[in-house]
Structure 1
């Protein structure tokens, strides 16, 4: 093994704080990137779902024939 003890491994002959800070920044950025990707993916899926629902509702409205005229019976008193 290159180091005599675990504390020597952590210290890395004075370079330890820099090395471990780099590892910490790397892992924090990786976790932030993964979390951002998951949030973005969920937002895109939700947007697509809303778009499909909108298109389905619009096609239902276009598919049903609209009546050309509507007539209602009105009762008029003969007084």
Structure 2
């Protein structure tokens, strides 16, 4: 479609409210999803902090030894 002005583009042949409203709702929902994921990630980090580096290395080395058997 070809629009001769910005206002025609925004109106989109009478469907502008639906089109831009759909984009707006989608952006709000995606933003909310990102915020909720960050909140959950922080909550999990508080509940179960990452193991110390030494523990991770020991587990990795134990796994490597068991793979060689």
TM over 0.5: yes
TM-score, normalization by structure 2? 0.68
Greater relative CO (CA pairs within 8 A, separation 6+): 2
TM-score, normalization by structure 1? 0.60
Gaps of 5+ in 2: 52-69
Aligned residues: 50
* Structure 1 residue 8: Cα displacement: 0.1
If you compute each CA radius of gyration, which structure gives the higher value, 1 or 2? 1
Runs of 4+ in 1 over 2 A off after TM superposition: none
Higher normalized helix content (fraction of residues): 2
Gaps of 5+ in 1: 53-79
